[in-house]
Amino acid sequence: MSAAKQRIDELTDTLNHHNFLYYQEAAPAISDYEFDMMLEELTKLEKEHPELMRMDSPTQRVGGGITKEFKTVAHKYPMMSLGNTYSFDDLQEFDNRVRKQIGNDFEYVAELKIDGCAIGITYKNGHLYQALTRGDGTQGDDVTTNIKTIRSVPLKLIGEGWPEEFEVRGEVYYPLDVFEKLNKDREEIGEPALANPRNAAAGTLKMQDSAIVAKRKLEAFLYFLYGEDLPYKTHWESLQAVKSWGFRVNEAAAQCKDLDEVKAFINKWEHERHNLNFEIDGIVIKVNSYQHQRNLGFTAKSPRWAIAYKYKAETASTELLGIEYQVGRTGAITPVAKLQPVALAGTTVRNASLHNADQIEKIGLRIGDTVFVEKGGEIIPKIVGVDLPKRPADAKPVVYATHCPECGAELIRNEGEAKHFCPNEDGCPPQIKGKIEHFAGRKAMDIEGLGSETVELLFNSMLIGNIADVYDLTKPQVMQLDRMADKSAQNLIDGIAASTQIPFERVLFALGIRYVGETVAKKLAYNFKTIEAIEAASFEELNAVNEIGAVIARSLRDWLDNPKHQDIISRLKTASLQFTLSEDKMQPASDKLAGLTFVVSGTFANYSRDGIKETIERNGGKVSGSVSGKTSYVVAGNDMGPSKLEKAQKLGVKIISEEEFTSMLS
């Protein structure tokens, strides 16, 4: 066996094992850093020897495959739905029917009903073969490439005894914390929030670029095994087997000897479900024995041996006091219902989101109404209906705002869009302040000391009215502000000055152009290299860039064509901001540094820290954070860290200067 094959096998097995410990056992044994280093090594070896890459390689988890159109594939076992009940009476009826058919000697398995997106995954000879969505129940979409990015879904099975071919069914879902973060990120780039984790999961599974799916951190629970001649007698046994092969099975599942135990399970989770990091919409009850399941059989739509008990979403009723309109950074108007405070699912609710005008109309809201408020996966509860018999005679119909509550501009609503917008982007206070805050944010210009409070103060004192004004601020002006001492004023001025070194791609993101998030900004910067080239590009030329769609291109063109924005760019140029891609990032790629591992330390004359790392990688080299026996070179800049220097000397690793490094590339 070649050394490369041996190392690839070793890394694949080790990484898969650590993945398992991390995701299935929640017991990581190595640091993320160590994991990443090994993954990096494996990626490189696989690139050099593509023929040696294993089917279960963890590198597939990072995605990369693009699916233009999802193939429709027939389900081997139809994907049925479950009968629903909402009451213990219905449940009793189900239990009676079961007893009538199979007698009294049986038991149930009760499980959480995960509110996600159903998936069926087929394994052949221990390897993940294919993953299908539910579709219409008889045929689904082939989403294999995307499912492979979910780290809790094994690519290769562990343990023993798995059938040569089988299918596991389960649910793909967004953990609630991941979902909240996703929506926050969307808000940041002016995209509307996703309604709930379930829809978001379904949407993500159908994304064309699996590399994006890989970053989204979907999760999966598996709850059913299908196969021919399975050696198991009960569903419970099969769940244990599935678990032992490396699948993630929800721990809450329990065997129940009768309906009373099932009811106790239901009651327990009615409350505890609010502490889970995922949504459940009920409990699934299954007759445990396979023989009993066969006896009971199926109706046209669902098995007779299983049923779903659905929790009623927790609701409260309270009075609608009024409606307020919030204006976001992009000018989007969000109506917010102001409520008489009421307790709901462990918190006091004062506001409820209403999304847009259509929704208010659909519910038929009037001020003074008693409304039903419900808490779902969203952080803010929503209004789901009106208690009509309680409507007071003087309840006033809601007249949707026609003008911006902040600046008085007439609101607009674009064709096909649900939300109203305030078009006064450069004159509406929350939009101005929001844009400046975004501009100064950590991922943008990273201006220390320019948080929301300071922006508010500066804006109210009329010292800034747009992002270009930031660079005209003087220390005496800043010192006039409340609670601004000499030191904090100096820090702010220094922070502003330092931001002029922020690279072009981040400046582009900082401008706050609708739909131009971090990734799009990078794409634009690398493609066009200068702001002048972007300004000169036609809609078609912008649209021709990979991943820049028509909506982004239109939004960019509109922004650039606005004379006010042209003036801002010109003032920012005068303030010496970076509007050209830095030299180091312009260099073309090569494989001149292939096989070499670098550690960089200190600061450099012609490269930024990230720039030199990118240069190394773009030329085939590897960057490591710490000096070890495997380090080929330490590139020493000014003020190199003493510990790195000492370690390099001790290990006899060659230390080179920036000039020597540059000459390696020429």
Residues with Cβ within 8 Å of 234's Cβ and at least 6 positions away in sequence, in order, are: 288, 289, 290
Residue 118 binds ligand IVH, judged by CB under 6 A: yes
Listing DSSP states for 75-131 in one string gives: -SS-----EEE-SHHHHHHHHHHHHHHH-S---EEEEEEE-SEEEEEEEETTEEEEE
Is residue 80 near ligand IVH by the rule CB under 6 A?
yes
81 sits near ligand IVH (criterion: CB under 6 A): yes
Q: Which of 233, 248, 250 is nearest to 289 (CA)?
A: 233
Could you give the C-alpha distances from 249 to 75, 225, 306, in angstroms and in order? Answer: 22, 11, 18
- 194 vs 284, which CB is nearer to ligand IVH? 284
Check residue 82 for interaction with ligand IVH (CB under 6 A): yes
| Contact mark string toward ligand IVH, 454..493, x via CB under 6 A | ----------------------------------------
Minimum separation from the CB atom of position 281 to ligand IVH (A): 8
Q: Which is nearer to ligand IVH, 277 or 570 (CB)?
A: 277
DSSP assigned state of 389: G
Of 108-116, 366-374, 386-394, 498-506: span binding ligand IVH (CB under 6 A): 108-116
Candidates 173, 223, 269, 598; binder of ligand IVH (CB under 6 A) is 223
φ/ψ (deg, to 5) at 545: -70, 135
| Contact yes or no for 457/487 (Cβ under 8 A) | no
Cβ 273 to ligand IVH, closest distance in Å? 13
Q: Using the rule CB under 6 A, is 303 a contact of ligand IVH?
A: yes
> By CB under 6 A, which span of 112-120, 189-197, 550-558, 605-613 interacts with ligand IVH?
112-120
Q: Examine residue 572 and tell whether it contacts ligand IVH (CB under 6 A).
A: no
CB 125 to ligand IVH: min, Å: 25
Verify binding: residue 284, ligand IVH, rule CB under 6 A.
yes
Q: Is 633 in the site for ligand IVH (CB under 6 A)?
A: no
Nearer to ligand IVH, 171 or 378 (CB): 171
Place of tokens 């799009």: 520
Q: Which is nearer to ligand IVH, 53 or 80 (CB)?
A: 80
| Of residues 241 and 447, the one with the C-beta less far from ligand IVH | 241
Nearer to ligand IVH, 82 or 131 (CB): 82
| C-alpha 531 chain-centroid distance | 30
State the maximum Cα–Cα separation within the chain, in Å, rounded to a whole number: 88
Residue nearest to ligand IVH (CB): 118
Q: At its nearest, how many Å lie between ligand IVH and the CB of residue 308? A: 5
523 a catalytic residue: no
Total residues contacting ligand IVH by CB under 6 A comes to 14
Binding region for ligand IVH (CB under 6 A) out of 37-45, 109-117, 427-435, 511-519 = 109-117
Q: Are 390 and 371 in contact (CB under 8 A)?
A: no
Question: Nearer Cβ to ligand IVH, position 82 or 201?
Answer: 82
Residue 618 to residue 613: CA distance in whole angstroms: 9
Q: Which of 45, 73, 102, 114 binds ligand IVH (CB under 6 A)?
A: 114
Check 44, 76, 100, 113 and give the catalytic one. 113
Q: 293 vs 318, which CB is nearer to ligand IVH?
A: 293
Per CB under 6 A, the segment of 76-84, 358-366, 522-530, 568-576 that binds ligand IVH is 76-84
Burial of 228 (0-12, 13-18, 19+ CB in 10 A): exposed
Where b means 16+ CB within 10 Å and e means fewer, 326-361 reads ebbbbbbbbbbbebeebebbeeebeebbbbbbeebe
171 belongs to the binding site for ligand IVH (CB under 6 A): yes
Report long-range pairs for 564-573 (Cβ below 8 Å, ≥24 apart): 564/426, 567/468, 568/466, 568/467, 568/468, 569/531, 569/535, 571/468, 571/471, 572/467, 572/468, 572/471, 572/507, 573/531
Which of helix, strand or coil describes residue 218? Answer: coil
Assess 111 for contact with ligand IVH (CB under 6 A).
Answer: yes
Instruction: Give the residue with the Cβ less far from ligand IVH, 306 or 468.
Output: 306
Q: Please report the DSSP string for 342-384 in residue order.
A: EEETTEEEEEEE--SHHHHHHHT-EET-EEEEE--SSSS-EEE
Three-state secondary structure of 265-293: HHHHHHHHHHHCCCCEEEEEEEECEHHHH
User: Distance from CA of residue 488 to its chain's centroid?
Assistant: 36
The neighbour count for residue 107, using CB atoms within 10 Å, is 16
Binding mask 36-75 for ligand IVH (x = CB under 6 A): ----------------------------------------
* Site for ligand IVH contains 168 (CB under 6 A): no
Which positions touch ligand IVH (CB under 6 A)?
Answer: 80-82, 111, 113-114, 118, 171, 223-224, 284, 303, 306, 308
Q: Which residues are catalytic?
A: 113
